[in-house]
Amino acid sequence: MGENQRQFHTFRGYQMLKRDKLQLTPSMEDYLEMIYRNCKKVGYVRIYQLSDALNVQAPSATRTVQRLAKVGLVKYQKYGIIQLTKEGERIGEFLLERHLLIESFLSKLGITDTLLKDTEMIEHNISMEALESIEAFNAFLEENPEILKEYEEFKKSREL
């Protein structure tokens, strides 16, 4: 299977979770994405690492991790390590892919100074239709770099 087919399977899986009423707040999504990023590297993360990465206080990180554990997305024991469940890994993968997809799109538009802020603001409020269209548009631009180059030149000419 190609990369795009696997990715869209992940998107459909996330949609199923929405239908099953597993509602994650934007904050919970940010935590799960960061846990996934860390678990990809070493298999687990600790509260202090998570709070440092997200620039929050440890008690705040603990509360959110406990909420994620309650809905079955992470395994966590007080003062221990945090690991993803299979479901948490699946959703975490989607959240990271969604972040990277939007960040890539905005980067192609020439966004630099506010790239992370804009990505964070968009990723929690985007529809699946828009996300799938962004994925297709990114792929189109990657397969047609001359069009991206034309856009960059057009944008530069408007800034004068």
Burial class (CB in 10 A: 0-12, 13-18, 19+), 6: exposed
**Predicted confidence (pLDDT) at residue 7 exceeds the cutoff of 80:** no
pLDDT digits (tens, 9 = 90+) for 85-141: 999 999 999 999 999 999 999 999 999 999 999 999 999 889 888 999 999 999 999
Q: Tell me: the pLDDT tens digits for 49-72?
A: 999 999 999 999 999 999 999 999
pLDDT for 159 equals 83
User: Are 35 and 11 contained in the same domain?
Assistant: yes
CATH of the domain at 143: 1.10.60.10
Residue 4 has a pLDDT of: 45
Domain of residue 87 covers: 3-91
Which token pair is 82?
């945090």
From start to end of the chain, where are the E strands?
A: 45-46, 74-76, 81-84
pTM of the entire structure? 0.84
